[in-house]
Chains A and B, each alone.
Chain A
Amino acid sequence: MKRTVFKNRWLPYLLVVPQVLVTLVFFFWPAGKSLYLSLFRSPPFGGRDLFVGLDNFTALLTDAQYYDSVINSFIFAGGVTSLSVVVGLVVAGLANQKIRGLAIYRTMLLWPYGIAPAIAGIIFLFIFHPSYGVLPYFLSFVTSYEFNWLLKGWVAMALVIVATAWTHLGYNIAFFLAGLQAIPSSLLEAANVDGAGPVRRFTAIAVPLISPVTFYLVVVNMVFAFFGSFGVIHAVTRGGPGHATEIMVYKTWNDGFIGLNLGSSAAQSVILMALVIALTVLQFRFAEKRVTY
Chain B
Amino acid sequence: MSTPATVARPRDFLVAVGTGEQTRRRRPFPWGTLIVHALLLVSVVVIAFPLYYCFILSTQTVDQVIEKPPLLLPSTHAIENYAEAWRKSKMGRLLVNSAIVAVSVALGKISISMLSAFAIVYFHFRGKTLVFWMIFVTLMLPVPVRILPTYEVVGNLGWINTYMGLTVPLMASATATFLFRQFYLTVPDELCEAAQLDGCGPMRFLWKFLLPLSWANIAALFVVLFIYGWNEYFWPLLVTNTADMRTVIIAIENIIPRSGTELPIWNVIMAASMMALLPPVAVIVFMQRWFVKGLIESEK
Asked whether any CB of A lies within 8 Å of a CB of B in the complex, the reply is: yes
Q: Which residues of B contact A4 (CB under 8 A)?
A: 189, 192-193, 196
- Rounded to whole angstroms, the CA-CA distance of A206 and B51 in the bound complex is 30
Task: Tell me which of B43, B113, B143 has the highest count of chain A C-beta atoms within 10 A of its own C-beta.
Answer: B43
**Number of A-B residue pairs at CB separation under 8 A:** 354
B233 close to A118 (CB less than 8 A): yes
- Binary contact readout A275-293 vs B (1 if CB under 8 angstroms, 0 otherwise): 0110011001000000001
B95 contacts partner chain A, Cβ-Cβ < 8 Å: no
With A16-B120, A27-B141, A178-B217: A99-B112 Cβ-Cβ less than 8 Å: no
Are the CB atoms of B153 and A25 closer together than 8 Å?
yes
**Which A residue's beta carbon lies closest to that of B70?**
A134
CB distance A26 to B172 under 8 Å?
A: yes
Contact call B32/A111, Cβ cutoff below 8 A? no
Residues facing B in A17-40 (CB within 8 A) are 18-20, 22-23, 25-31, 33-34, 37
B233 touching A31, Cβ below 8 Å: no
Q: Would A175 and B179 count as touching, CB distance under 8 A?
A: yes
Q: Residue B160 at the A interface, CB < 8 A?
A: no
The answer to whether B47 and A166 touch across the interface, beta carbons within 8 angstroms, is: yes
Question: Are A183 and B288 neighbours in the complex by a CB distance under 8 Å?
Answer: no
Contact check, B138 vs A185: say whether CB atoms are below 8 A apart: no
Give the size of the chain A interface in residues (CB under 8 angstroms): 113
In the complex, whether A238 has a CB less than 8 A from a CB of chain B is: no
Contacts of A124 in B (CB 8 A): 50
Whether B51 contacts A112 by the Cβ 8 Å rule is yes
Contact of B140 among A99, A134, A213, A276 (CB under 8 A): A276
* B61 within 8 Å of A (CB atoms): no
Interface of B is mostly: helix
User: Within the complex, which residue of B15, B124, B216 is in contact with A178, where a contact is CB–CB below 8 Å?
Assistant: B216
Which residues of A sit under 8 angstroms from B136, Cβ to Cβ? 280, 284
B109 to chain A, nearest CB (A): 9
**Is A216 among interface residues, defined by CB-CB distance under 8 A?**
yes
| Known A-B contacts A22-B168, A34-B146; A123 and B116 likewise in contact (beta carbons under 8 Å) | no
Query: Do the beta carbons of A249 and B233 come within 8 Å of each other?
Result: no
Contact between chains at B220 and A177 (CB < 8 Å) = yes
What CA separation (Å) do A25 and B65 show in the bound complex?
Answer: 46
Q: Is the CB of A45 closer than 8 A to any CB of chain B?
A: no
A122 partner, pick from B10, B227, B269, beta carbons under 8 A: B269
**What is the CA–CA distance of A215 and B182 in the complex, to the nearest angstrom?**
9
Residue-wise, chain A 60-96 has the 8 Å CB interface mask toward B (1 for contact) of: 0000000000000000000000000000000100111
| Interface-centre pick from A2, A183, A257 (highest chain B CB count, 10 A) | A2
Task: Please name the residue on chain B nearest to A256 by beta carbon.
Answer: B148
A116-B233, A117-B233, A212-B182 are known; give 10 further A-B pairs, CB within 8 A.
A15-B116, A16-B115, A26-B146, A26-B172, A99-B36, A99-B37, A114-B231, A119-B270, A133-B70, A276-B137
Q: Which chain B residues have a beta carbon within 8 Å of chain A's beta carbons?
A: 8-16, 18-19, 22, 32-33, 36-37, 39-40, 43-44, 47-51, 53-54, 57, 65-70, 72, 111-113, 115-116, 118-125, 128, 131, 133-150, 152-153, 157, 168-169, 171-172, 174-175, 177-179, 182-186, 189, 192-193, 196, 201-203, 205, 213, 216-217, 219-220, 223-224, 227, 230-231, 233, 249, 252-253, 256, 266, 269-270, 273, 276-277, 280-281, 284-285, 288, 291, 294-295
The 3 closest A-B pairs by CB, nearest first: A114-B280, A30-B149, A26-B172
